[in-house]
Structure 1
């Protein structure tokens, strides 16, 4: 396949790039710092999706079978990177006729309010008592701006008319690729407290070719 990987130097993005190349895919990488992209794909496009216009992405997206995005803020002050960047990606996809997109979000997003979902469910059916009443509220308070950004990103995808998949991992680790993770449609995983970035990348590549994941949010965990 011909894939476009956005945020290709990030924790998940660089693993996506390596796994996609190892699987024999033709890859175009998008990154703010193209000199940091490794391993080297067929093409690298420099773009800062916090500010750039869709035209910058058109050469990267044109002709792709799918776009995989690992966009997200690097700090608590980055509260619009995922939403703005995904709007930019979607505009470039519409301009080039590309339909398929797989993105990374986060496990708590099912219960986070957004402009399009002002009254989300209070609890995710896969969350434990501790996650619902102790850890969850604390995490949401600390990462309020980050989650609001991801919630707006998810709104844009649902309204886009594209063939999207949203992957919602819990706490990310630097553990190895195991390919033995669990997934669930539309909810989190019971006792699913963590997952490696390598396994998230592995699932994203799988999801690209899985029609059952189109238009779905997918929980993933060990």
Structure 2
């Protein structure tokens, strides 16, 4: 497949790039700093700031792609907005190019995070047990509220895009190696899930490309 990867120099993005290349895919990577991908056998498109990038800048990256995969996400509260604004630019470029398949990474707590498109989400995710529901997520969501709102707004835009999208919502990320043994749940978080590796998130992003049943679905994932 011809794949375009956004956020290719980040934690999930680097794993995605390596795994896609190992599978023989033809990869275009969109990054701020091409030097971070020196030595990688990929076509590199530089986008200094996705939030302000116009369609003309991103069109060459997505034109002719079989799928676009985005690992964009705010690394901290100060960077909140990068996912929603960047994804909005990606969606505009994809529509202009006629490219339809999109896979994006979000996060497990987003399912219960209010957003303009979902002002009254469920108070609790059915996959979350009492420990996560009443102890962990209230603390995490209070501390990282700007980041989760950014991802929630991103999901709003993806759902309304008219494209063939899949949203992956992993739990807490680790740097452990790929296993392929993670669990997934359609439309909710994975019961009992606490951790999953960035490498396995990348593996799942590639795996859903061959699964038409994942189109227009939100999928929770955990180990």
Which category of TM-score, normalised to the shorter sequence, fits these structures?
A: over 0.9
Q: By how many angstroms is 1:75 displaced?
A: 1.9
Q: By how many angstroms is 1:51 displaced?
A: 2.4
Question: d(CA) in 2 for partners of 1:167 and 1:38?
Answer: 28
CA contact under 8 A between 1:14 and 1:38: conserved in structure 2? no
1:16 match:
16
CA contact under 8 A between 1:9 and 1:38: conserved in structure 2? no
2:29 match:
29
CA contact under 8 A between 1:3 and 1:66: conserved in structure 2? yes
1:3 match:
3
CA contact under 8 A between 2:183 and 2:222: conserved in structure 1? yes
Q: By how many angstroms is 1:210 displaced?
A: 0.8
Question: d(CA) in 2 for partners of 1:173 and 1:76?
Answer: 19
DSSP 3-state at the match of 1:219: strand
Give the length in aligned residue pairs: 222
1:215 match:
216
* 1:128-175 deviation digits (Å, cap 9, x = unpaired): 101111111000000000000000000001111000000000100000
DSSP 3-state at the match of 2:50: coil
DSSP 3-state at the match of 2:78: coil
Q: By how many angstroms is 1:42 displaced?
A: 3.0
Structure 2: state its 5+ residue gaps. Answer: none
More divergent stretch after superposition (117-126 vs 50-59) = 50-59
Q: By how many angstroms is 1:41 displaced?
A: 3.2
* 1:87-129 deviation digits (Å, cap 9, x = unpaired): 0000000010000000000001110100010000000000010
DSSP 3-state at the match of 1:220: strand
Structure 1: state its 5+ residue gaps. Answer: none
More divergent stretch after superposition (36-45 vs 121-130) = 36-45
Q: By how many angstroms is 1:205 displaced?
A: 0.3
Instruction: State TM-score, norm by structure 1.
Output: 0.98
Question: d(CA) in 2 for partners of 1:42 and 1:196?
Answer: 24
1:73 match:
74
1:50 match:
51
Distance 1:212 1:38, change over 3 A: farther
DSSP 3-state at the match of 1:50: helix
Distance 1:129 1:33, change over 3 A: same
Instruction: State TM-score, norm by structure 2.
Output: 0.98
* 1:14-57 deviation digits (Å, cap 9, x = unpaired): 11000000000000000011110255133100112132222211
Indicate the RMSD between aligned Cα atoms, in angstroms.
0.9
Q: Which runs of 4+ in 1 moved over 2 A?
A: none
